[in-house]
Amino acid sequence: MPFFDWLFNSVIGKAVAAGLALAALVGWFAMDQRSRGAANVVTSINRQTNVKVQAARKARDRVPADGNVEWLRKHACRDC
C-alpha cells in the first residue's frame, strides 16, 4: 500500500504519524481529566447535600412532633 509506505518510510510521513499519535494522546488526556473533574464535582455536590440534610434533620428534631404552633412562633418565626 503506497500510503503506508509513504507514512513510515519518509521523514514527513514519520512526522505526520508522530503528530497524529501526539494529538491522540493529548485528546485522551483531556477527556480523562474532564471525566475526573466531573466526578469531583458530583462528589462535592453530594458532600454539600449531606451537610444540608443533616442540618435540616437537626432543625426538624428540635420541633415538637405535635406541631405546637406557639412553640413554632416562639422559636422559629422571625417576624412574630
- Confidence at residue 80, expressed as pLDDT on a 0 to 100 scale: 60
- Confidence at residue 22, expressed as pLDDT on a 0 to 100 scale: 97
- The amino acid occupying position 15 is A
For 71, the enclosing helix (H) or strand (E) is helix 69-75
Rounded to whole angstroms, the Cα distance separating 33 from 46 reads: 20
pLDDT digits (tens, 9 = 90+) for 18-64: 999 999 999 999 999 999 999 999 999 999 999 999 999 988 887 77
Nearest-10 Cα torsion for 37, 40, 42, 46 = -170
User: Phi and psi of 64, rounded to 5°?
Assistant: -60, 145
Report yes or no on whether pTM surpasses 0.95. Answer: no
Rounded to whole angstroms, the Cα distance separating 10 from 14 reads: 6
